[in-house]
Amino acid sequence: MSFDAAVASLTGRYPWLPPAAIRMMAESFVEHGDPYIALGDFRQSDLYDSLYPGNRRPDGTLRYDEGGYYVYVERARAAVASLGVNPSIFEGQIVEALEGNLGIDELEFRIDQTYEMLIDAIPETREAWRAFYGYDISPEAIFAVALDPELDTLILKGQITEAQIGGAGMAQGFSIGQSFAEQLRWAGLDREAAANFFGEGSIQLEIMNVLAARHSDPDDPFDIEEFAEAAIFYNPEVRRWMRNMVAQERMSFFGSPYRLDRTTGVVTGLIES
């Protein structure tokens, strides 16, 4: 059998195989006259691993045959493309999913779940991005970074995370600046952690400001940056002030005359009987 005839025969038998694979197999097919031996030789080659990354298990066995691999990858690419994201940026994630033995149905579900998680937050994130950086960003760009956390070219990932933090703040009624969002990002907050932080902050600020108006300095309200100093950056002075405000409120039920120095966090006037 000639080489060209072998190529034609193998192409008809394995139409999903790339041309480079067919050419390698054709050489074996000409030599042995058996397409299965040719396929086996290809599967043992370095070329196979470059064309089908993630498909070989540590013990050398294959997760999918070549047709199954093709279907898996194409379904994953289609799931990403359907959300307006270039699937080429997701190639590494597909390989990781394969290596993690994640079925294609589960992978499609996770892609949809990520989209659903982000879609409600995208308007606030885009609004924060415009406020921070002075121009718009597409929902697709936000989603692309969420899908692939390795997309940190230059400072794009950091900027999107900061916009997500700012958007989480807006959702709770806080209008924060980019520098504060950057501080929170450097402290390790992402969109979900920021949502929890601002949610707790909205509760604690209301409580602390009621106590401040009652016991301390109502003209200097406790704000979200001060709450971050206590809850995120563990500023001892702010944490002491918050503890003492709560202590003052408790003591007020016993009629003790006292006052709080907000600068030092010290409660005075507690020695009178």
Structural domain count of the chain: 4
Asked if residue 56 is part of any domain, the answer here is: no
Q: 210 and 180 share a domain?
A: no
**Rounded CA gap, 154 and 18, in Å?**
35
Provide the residue-wise pLDDT of the chain in tens; the chain has 273 residues.
789 899 999 999 998 899 999 999 999 999 999 999 999 999 999 999 999 999 999 999 999 999 999 999 999 999 888 887 788 878 888 898 899 898 999 989 888 877 776 776 778 888 888 898 888 887 777 777 667 655 554 456 788 888 889 989 998 999 999 999 999 999 999 888 999 999 999 999 988 888 888 776 666 778 999 999 999 999 999 898 888 888 877 776 655 454 545 455 454 544 443
Query: CB of 97 within 8 A of CB of 69?
Result: no
Q: Which pair of structure tokens corresponds to residue 168? A: 């989480």
Alpha-carbon distance values, 72 to 8, 13, 110 (Å): 26, 20, 14
| Terminal alpha carbon distance of the chain | 110
Query: CB of 6 within 8 A of CB of 30?
Result: yes
| Final residue of a structural domain among 191, 221, 237 | 191
Asked if residue 159 is part of any domain, the answer here is: yes
Asked if residue 58 is part of any domain, the answer here is: no
Q: 183 and 220 share a domain?
A: no
Report the predicted TM-score, pTM, of the whole model to 2 decimal places: 0.58
**Structural domain for 90, as ranges:** 66-116
Residues facing 259 on adjacent strands: 268
Asked if residue 57 is part of any domain, the answer here is: no
pLDDT at 24: 93
Asked if residue 93 is part of any domain, the answer here is: yes
Asked if residue 60 is part of any domain, the answer here is: no
Q: 9 and 40 share a domain?
A: yes
pLDDT at 260: 47
SS3 (DSSP) at 34: coil
pLDDT at 217: 63
Q: Which pair of structure tokens corresponds to residue 265? A: 């966090």
Provide the 10 A C-beta neighbour count for residue 30: 16
| Final residue of a structural domain among 191, 220, 254 | 191
Asked if residue 112 is part of any domain, the answer here is: yes
Asked if residue 156 is part of any domain, the answer here is: yes
Torsion over CA of 35, 41, 42 and 48, rounded to 10 degrees? 150
| Final residue of a structural domain among 191, 206, 229 | 191
Q: 124 and 176 share a domain?
A: yes
